Structures are given as C-alpha cells and as structure tokens.
C-alpha cells in the first residue's frame, strides 16, 4: 500500500478465500471470465469497501472448511476416478453421472461431518454441493485431470481430507461403511495405473494407516 502512495494507517484487509478452478457464476459466465476469475469470498467487515463481485460471509473459517470438502475433496475424488475412466478434463469427470454416483455415499458422510463439525445446515450443504458440482462442469475451463489428481499417497493419508473426516465420524459412532466402496474404487483406480497394481494398493493402504478402515477395505471385495 505504501508503494502505491496509500497510507496504511486505519486500513484492514479482510481474510479471503479464492477458488481458482471454478468460474464465479457458471453457467452465466463468459469464456473470458471463466479463464481469468475464480470465485472469491471475503470476510465481512463493517464499513468495508469491497468489490460487488466478491461474496461476503460472516465466518470465513467455516466457509473455508466447507470449500475444502465440497470443492477440493470432491474435485480430487472425481479427478482420480476420471483418470481411471480415461477422461482428460476436470469438467468431463464432473459431468459424469457414473462418477457422481460412485462418490455419492462418501460425500453424504462428508456433508454429515460438516454438519457436526461446522454446525452447517444440511439443506444448505446439499444446495452448495450441487452449486459447486455444476461450476466444476464448466467446459470453458479445460483443467487437465492430471493437474488435479496428484500426490495420491499423500492425499490418502490419515490426517488429510479424504480420510480425516471419516476417522472423526467413526470416533463419534457414525457408521462409515457407506464410504468404503468409494475408497476401494479410488485406491484401485490409482493402483491399476501403476506398474505393479497389487504393490501400489498395499502402498496406498499403508499410507492410509487407519487400522479399522484398512480392515474394512480388505474385507470388501476390491472394485
């Protein structure tokens, strides 16, 4: 601000969250906007001067948790499944009914986690999940699946967003069995693309490193 000739005294910059893989208002967005804008969300500040294009929220921390699961985890999941299905772009995976159904039970548990952890309304989460899914379907954003489906062994770890919410729910007595089929499809899809699929599957289970979930995965017939 000082370099721009602005006195920073009395100024406060709000916390913000940027989602760069979604256009801000698909399907009404133009091609130019789709390539140059993400969706921008900022912490609401009393008396602040803001750009109308940016969404303002009362609690940016809760909104970030919501985004991490409904956008990032979902995008990662459909990207790994999309690659396994031979698709090239993120929007192709997002618009696939088969992939959506493969993730559905898992995402229902993720929304339950958000309900419990962030005290978010279930109807609100259903609405937002569909909104994010439709924005990921934007064909103007040709985001390659390989640029999203990365670092699988890290992302499947016990403290990462694929698994951690399940461990929290499990500790609270929630039956996480509905997520097991998706996790097997996810792991096998990645493993089958490796030079030694059986070894790769074992590496994934070792990275997951949550005994009860690993046991459930091994008991279920691999997809």
What is the pLDDT at residue 64? 78
* CA distances in angstroms from 86 to 99, 193, 199, listed in the order given: 12, 11, 22
For 13, which DSSP code? P
Task: Please report the pLDDT score of residue 35 as a whole number.
Answer: 40
Give the tens place of pLDDT for each residue, 123-170.
999 998 998 898 888 888 888 999 999 999 999 999 999 999 999 999
The domains of the chain are located at 16-57, 151-223
Burial of 112 (0-12, 13-18, 19+ CB in 10 A): middle
Higher pLDDT, 213 or 57: 213
Are 114 and 71 a contacting pair, CB within 8 Å? no
Per-residue pLDDT at 201? 97
Distance between CA atoms of residues 57 and 72, nearest Å: 19
How far is the CA of 143 from the CAs of 91, 93, 123, in angstroms?
8, 11, 29
Tell me the pLDDT band of 208, cut-offs 50, 70 and 90. Answer: very high
């Amino acid at each position: 601000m000082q370099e721009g000739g602005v006195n920073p005294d009395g100024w406060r910059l709000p916390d913000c969250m940027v989602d760069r893989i979604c256009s801000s208002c698909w399907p009404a967005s133009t091609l130019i906007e789709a390539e140059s804008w993400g969706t921008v969300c900022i912490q609401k500040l009393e008396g602040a001067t803001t750009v109308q294009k940016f969404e303002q929220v009362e609690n940016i921390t809760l909104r970030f948790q919501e985004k991490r699961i409904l956008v990032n985890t979902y995008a990662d999941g459909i990207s790994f499944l999309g690659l396994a299905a031979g698709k090239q772009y993120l929007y192709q995976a997002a618009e696939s009914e088969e992939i959506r159904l493969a993730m559905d039970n898992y995402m229902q548990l993720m929304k339950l986690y958000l309900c419990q952890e962030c005290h978010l309304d279930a109807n609100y989460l259903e609405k937002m999940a569909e909104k994010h899914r439709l924005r990921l379907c934007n064909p103007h954003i040709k985001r390659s699946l390989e640029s999203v489906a990365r670092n699988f062994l890290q992302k499947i770890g016990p403290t990462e967003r694929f698994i951690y919410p399940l461990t929290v729910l499990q500790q609270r007595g929630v039956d996480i069995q509905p997520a097991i089929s998706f996790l097997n499809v996810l792991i096998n899809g990645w493993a089958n693309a490796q030079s030694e699929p059986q070894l790769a599957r074992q590496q994934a289970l070792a990275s997951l490193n949550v005994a009860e979930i690993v046991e459930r995965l091994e008991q279920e017939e691999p997809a």
